[in-house]
Amino acid sequence: MKIDQFLNKIQRHLNLQKFISTVSWSLLAAGIIGIVYALSYILRGHAMIASGYWPLIGSSIVIGSIIASVNRNSREEAAHYADKKWQLKDLMLTTIQLQSSQNDNNKQSISNSEVVELIVSQAEQQAAKVNQDKLTLKWPKHIIFTGTSLLAVSIYMLTIPPSEAVVMKLAHENMIESRSNEVRNELEEYLDELDKSLDDDEKEALKLDELKQWVEEMKITGNEREAMKQFAKLEQKISLNLSQMNHAKEERALKKMAQELRKTDSQQARAIRKDIEKRDYDKAGKKLEDMQFKKNTESSQKKSTPLTEQQKKAAMMRAITKRMANANKSSNQSSSQGQSQGNQSNGSGSNGDNSQQSEIASMVSQLDKTLSELEKELRKCELDGKKLSNQKCESLCNNINDQLCKLSKKMCQTSAQCKASFKLKCLRQGLCQSQSYALGRCNKPSSRPGGQQAGVGSNHSERQERSDHLANGNMAQLQGIKNQTGPSQSSVEEAESGTAISSKNESQRERSYQRSFESFVQRDDIPEELKSGVQNYFESIHQYQEPTIPADQN
């Protein structure tokens, strides 16, 4: 047999043996990994996830097979194995080394070629004599059995269901995740409806874009703590927006102005007061803006007397603004007096927020001052016999028009802030309910109208039959005629003529216990000895008489 054929056969045998050994160890490793993977879930009460189990087991076996395929035995290792197994004294290893050196120096003359041929022929003779039936594969049975057993156990662990606590926890997390997603979608729909229904001023006061961004930043999670944190963060931002709105001071000032406008009989003042009381501040501001002075033209000067019209209009406006300004002046005076008294008692000279005037109140005060100056100028023009061509009067009218525009704009802004505040409060209240709903603490509000039907029950104490020995709830009914002639132990005194002292007359009366005695004696569940004892006791009581005192002792 040629040396190459012999060594190739041995090399294939060694490679197959290494492949079997490597795959067996990889099978054992896969079983151990599968057990560890399964225990990592089962010890925590979870069910093992098959989608992560099979790739892990398959990858470990494939990696072992690839390592066995790449790490193959060489011809030198096969020759060394043959020399060691059949005790050839390194004949095969020497032969392949001489052949490789001869192939490298094939162009040069070799003096010892005869020696090489002799060694090769000797190696071929030994290879022919070798019994190659001894080349049997060794299967690592213990490793294969252990690996397959571990794999079978890990595969069985796939069927173990999760614990009850984990099932409830997962159901709770899924419920929180689905409900959080539902709440987020409803919030987005609510904000979209607000975007369509509100005007620009209300959107600006509401900061609708920021609210949409905050809702979009909410992450859908099944963790209860994380969900609560997100809801609380959103609620905190809404509360911060509410605190930044300073419409409460403006509303208080407008309410005081409305109360002060009740004292006037002007039709314009009445209309403005009604709008303020209805909290339609934008309508009231527009009515104030409609009271602006019109610019005089040559045609209007020829037809009428603009001076008289301007005086009437200024007087009408002054009657309204004076009342509105006086309302805040009186409140500021009372608050300043209270603040000064508090500072004297506390020994502090700091000014509080109550002494600060609202922006609308300051605008009304400034408007009232400008109207007062205009009235003075109009009187001067009337006394001098001049027309309304005074430059100062025109500048005052323009100034009043500008102030009315600013006041109307501020009132519209206050109205928008009030509406936005109401929307934010509704949103915050709905967010609290949504938080309870998302965390599974309540059902969805108004998810289904009404409730279940009334139940059916019975009360065994209310029975038709009567018993002399059992308190069955049947009350005795009084018989007779209600009148005012019967005796009474109490008296009623009127508040105007009474003494404010209540008294009750007490009187000693004899009462008979004959009925109680008879009912006790007639009962069947009482022993006869006890009945006779009770009977003797009551008879002795009725027969008892007080001892008489002898006349000698008196």
Per-residue model confidence as pLDDT tens digits over 418-473: 877 787 777 777 777 777 776 666 555 554 555 556 666 666 555 555 555 555 45
On whether both 66 and 90 belong to a single domain, the answer is yes
- Kindly report which listed range (79-93, 143-157, 188-202) carries the lowest average pLDDT score: 79-93
For residues 461 and 473, is the Cβ–Cβ distance under 8 A?
yes
CA dist., res. 323 & res. 404, Å (int): 16
CA dist., res. 467 & res. 512, Å (int): 24
Per the structure, the complete domain to which residue 124 belongs is given by: 3-157
Radius of gyration of the chain from its Cα atoms, rounded to whole angstroms: 55
In a domain, 471, yes or no: no
What digits encode the pLDDT tens for the residues 526-535?
Answer: 778 887 887 7
Q: For residue 82, count CB atoms less than 10 angstroms from its CB and return exposed for 0-12, middle for 13-18, buried for 19 or more.
A: buried
In a domain, 544, yes or no: no
On whether both 61 and 105 belong to a single domain, the answer is yes
Confidence of residue 252 (pLDDT cuts 50, 70, 90): confident
| Tokens describing residue 453 | 């039907």
DSSP-assigned states of every residue in 31-63 = HHHHHHHHHHHHTTTPPPPHHHHHHHHHHHHHH
On whether both 103 and 184 belong to a single domain, the answer is no
What is the rounded end-to-end Cα distance, in angstroms, of the chain? 163
How confident is the model at residue 508, as a pLDDT? 67
Please choose, from the candidates 56, 52, 65, 50, the residue with its C-alpha nearest in 3D space to the C-alpha of residue 31. Answer: 56
Q: How distant is the alpha carbon of residue 415 from its chain centre? A: 30
| 374, 404, 438 - which closes a domain | 438
CA dist., res. 532 & res. 534, Å (int): 5
What digits encode the pLDDT tens for the residues 342-394?
Answer: 444 444 444 444 445 678 888 888 888 888 888 887 777 766 655 555 677 77
On whether both 232 and 258 belong to a single domain, the answer is no
On whether both 289 and 172 belong to a single domain, the answer is no
Mean pLDDT along residues 160-169: 86
In a domain, 19, yes or no: yes
For residues 412 and 285, is the Cβ–Cβ distance under 8 A?
yes
| 132, 157, 182 - which closes a domain | 157
What digits encode the pLDDT tens for the residues 49-86?
Answer: 888 888 888 888 888 878 777 776 666 666 666 666 66
- Segments in 385-474 forming alpha helices (H): 391-438
Confidence of residue 402 (pLDDT cuts 50, 70, 90): confident
**Residue type for 326, please?**
N
CA dist., res. 263 & res. 293, Å (int): 25
CA dist., res. 37 & res. 48, Å (int): 8
Structural domain count, the chain: 3
CA dist., res. 327 & res. 337, Å (int): 16
For residue 487, the number of C-alpha atoms closer than 13 Å in the C-beta half-sphere is 2
How confident is the model at residue 64, as a pLDDT? 80
In a domain, 82, yes or no: yes
| 417, 438, 459 - which closes a domain | 438
What digits encode the pLDDT tens for the residues 195-230?
Answer: 777 777 777 777 778 888 888 888 887 777 888 888
In a domain, 546, yes or no: no
Confidence of residue 134 (pLDDT cuts 50, 70, 90): low
On whether both 77 and 195 belong to a single domain, the answer is no
Please choose, from the candidates 489, 485, 482, the residue with its C-alpha nearest in 3D space to the C-alpha of residue 503. Answer: 489
CA dist., res. 306 & res. 172, Å (int): 78
For residues 435 and 231, is the Cβ–Cβ distance under 8 A?
yes
In a domain, 367, yes or no: yes
On whether both 53 and 146 belong to a single domain, the answer is yes
For residue 533, the number of C-alpha atoms closer than 13 Å in the C-beta half-sphere is 5
Q: For residue 124, count CB atoms less than 10 angstroms from its CB and return exposed for 0-12, middle for 13-18, buried for 19 or more.
A: middle
On whether both 175 and 131 belong to a single domain, the answer is no
Confidence of residue 101 (pLDDT cuts 50, 70, 90): low
How confident is the model at residue 397, as a pLDDT? 82
DSSP 441: S
In a domain, 114, yes or no: yes
Q: How many CB atoms lie within 10 A of CB 521?
A: 14
Position with higher pLDDT, 518 vs 271 = 271
On whether both 43 and 131 belong to a single domain, the answer is yes
In a domain, 291, yes or no: yes
On whether both 253 and 362 belong to a single domain, the answer is yes
Q: How many CB atoms lie within 10 A of CB 282?
A: 22
For residue 341, the number of C-alpha atoms closer than 13 Å in the C-beta half-sphere is 6
On whether both 407 and 283 belong to a single domain, the answer is yes
On whether both 239 and 251 belong to a single domain, the answer is no
